[in-house]
Amino acid sequence: MKYYFLGFFLVFLLQCKQKKVINPEKVYPAGIQLNGISGKPINLLWRAYGGYYCGFECIPDEDDYEHITPDYFEIYTGTSKNNLTKFKTISGKIETIDEIFSDNQTVYVQIQAVYAAGTKKIASNVIMISSDKAPQAQKLDVENTKYTFTYQAETYSSTWMQRTTLLGTEKAILMGTNSKNEYGTWYRDFLNNKQQWLWNNITLSSWSPDNKKALLNKILDKKTESVSELYLFDSATLQLTPINFLGKSVISFTWAPDANSIAFSVIDDNGNYILYTTSVTNIRLVKVFETNNNTAAFTAGTQGLEVISKLKWVQNDILFQKTNNYIKGNQTLGETHVYRLNIDSKIMTIVPDFEESDWGEVSLDTNPSGTKIAFVSRRSGYVSIWVKDLEKKRSYQVSNQLCLPCNLSVEQWTSNNELTYSASNSNTGELSFYKIKVD
Distance separating the N- and C-terminal Cα atoms of the chain? 76
Q: How does pLDDT run across 244-277, given as a tens digit for each residue?
A: 767 778 999 999 989 999 999 998 888 889 999 9
Q: How many residues does the chain have?
A: 439
Instruction: Out of 3.40.50.720, 3.40.50.2020, 3.50.50.60, 2.120.10.30, select the CATH number for domain 201-351.
Output: 2.120.10.30
Query: What pLDDT does 393 receive?
Result: 85
CB 111 within 8 A of CB 89: no
For residue 377, count CB atoms less than 10 angstroms from its CB and return exposed for 0-12, middle for 13-18, buried for 19 or more: buried
Query: What pLDDT does 403 receive?
Result: 66
Query: What pLDDT does 55 receive?
Result: 35
CATH class of the 2-130 domain in this structure: mainly beta
Q: How does pLDDT run across 18-42, given as a tens digit for each residue?
A: 444 444 467 888 889 999 988 888 8
Q: Which of 4-8, 37-41, 215-219, 344-348 has the lowest mean pLDDT?
A: 4-8
29 cis-preceded (ω within 30 degrees of 0):
no
Please give the Cα distance from 300 to 294 (Å, whole number): 10
Banded model confidence at residue 4, pLDDT cuts 50, 70, 90: very low
Query: What pLDDT does 247 receive?
Result: 72
Query: What pLDDT does 138 receive?
Result: 87
Banded model confidence at residue 357, pLDDT cuts 50, 70, 90: low
| 210 compared with 23, residue with greater pLDDT | 210
Per-residue b or e along 391-418, where b marks 16 or more CB atoms closer than 10 Å to that residue's CB: eeeebbbbbbbebeebebbbbbbbeeee
The contacts found for 155-159 with CB under 8 angstroms, 24 or more apart, are 155/179, 156/183, 156/184, 156/186
Mean pLDDT, the chain, whole residue set? 82
User: Taking Cα atoms as reference points, which of 220, 269, 227 lies closest to residue 250?
Assistant: 227
Please give the Cα distance from 113 to 27 (Å, whole number): 13
CB 305 within 8 A of CB 293: yes
Please give the Cα distance from 4 to 9 (Å, whole number): 9
Q: Which residues contact 269 (CB under 8 A, 6 or more apart)?
A: none
Res 84 pLDDT > 90: yes
The one-character DSSP state at 67 is B
HEC sequence for 114-128: EEHHHCEEEEECCEE
Please give the Cα distance from 138 to 50 (Å, whole number): 39
Average pLDDT over residues 373-377: 90
Res 219 pLDDT > 60: yes
Query: What pLDDT does 399 receive?
Result: 84
User: Taking Cα atoms as reference points, which of 315, 329, 407, 317 lies closest to residue 362?
Assistant: 407
CB 337 within 8 A of CB 322: yes
Q: Break the chain into its structural domains and give their ranges.
A: 2-130, 201-351, 354-439
Q: How does pLDDT run across 154-168, given as a tens digit for each residue?
A: 999 998 766 544 545
The one-character DSSP state at 135 is P
Query: What pLDDT does 165 receive?
Result: 47
Query: What pLDDT does 59 receive?
Result: 41
Q: How does pLDDT run across 277-330, given as a tens digit for each residue?
A: 999 999 999 999 999 887 777 777 777 888 888 888 988 899 988 888 878 777
Query: What pLDDT does 411 receive?
Result: 86
CB 147 within 8 A of CB 158: yes
Please give the Cα distance from 351 to 369 (Å, whole number): 16
Q: How does pLDDT run across 380-428, given as a tens digit for each residue?
A: 888 889 999 988 888 899 887 666 677 888 888 888 899 999 888 878 8
**What number of helices (H) and strands (E) belong to the chain?**
2, 33
Residues of the chain above pLDDT 90, percent: 35
Please give the Cα distance from 429 to 383 (Å, whole number): 17
